[in-house]
């Protein structure tokens, strides 16, 4: 499924959709824009945090723990030559050390973090129109 983002009349509000689901992003630049939605980098952080939290829940359930608890905080640090992803995983306190290690190992292999560990390129799928 393709996510589509469309700018709105209010700077810099942008509506994004994925099928029937939708959200609002925003940013503040040069005194323009507000906080009507998450900033683009926050959306990236949210994608990783939610994937890792879901993975932690699945791993904990696989260990037989009913109604598991987990949370993940993610922060991107943008440096001149790299991006560092910092995250804090909090797992269910009912887990013993071996179970905790198993959950951590599975979270470190979660789908989105796996994607982000690969080289990434951005290629236009549709060529821009030729200028007249």
The Cα 35–Cα 13 span in angstroms is 9
Nearest of 102, 80, 78 to residue 89 by alpha carbon: 102
Q: What is the pLDDT of residue 131?
A: 66
End-to-end CA distance of the chain: 33
Least confident of 9-13, 34-38, 56-60, 115-119: 34-38
Establish whether the linkage from the previous residue to 12 is cis, with ω within 30° of 0. yes
Are the CB atoms for 24 and 14 separated by under 8 Å? yes
Eight-class DSSP state of 87: E
pTM of the model: 0.86
Mean pLDDT of the 67-93 span: 95
């Amino acid at each position: 499924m393709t996510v589509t983002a469309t700018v709105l009349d209010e700077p810099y509000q942008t509506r994004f959709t994925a099928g029937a689901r939708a959200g609002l992003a925003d940013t503040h630049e040069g005194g323009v824009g507000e906080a009507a939605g998450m900033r683009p980098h926050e959306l990236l952080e949210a994608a990783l945090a939610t994937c890792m939290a879901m993975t932690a829940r699945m791993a904990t359930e696989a260990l037989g723990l009913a109604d598991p608890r987990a949370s993940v905080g993610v922060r991107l640090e943008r440096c001149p030559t790299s991006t560092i992803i910092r995250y804090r995983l909090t797992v269910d306190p009912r887990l013993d050390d071996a179970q905790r290690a198993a959950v951590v190992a599975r979270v470190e292999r979660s789908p989105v973090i796996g994607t982000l560990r690969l080289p990434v390129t951005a290629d236009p799928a549709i060529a821009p129109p030729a200028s007249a």
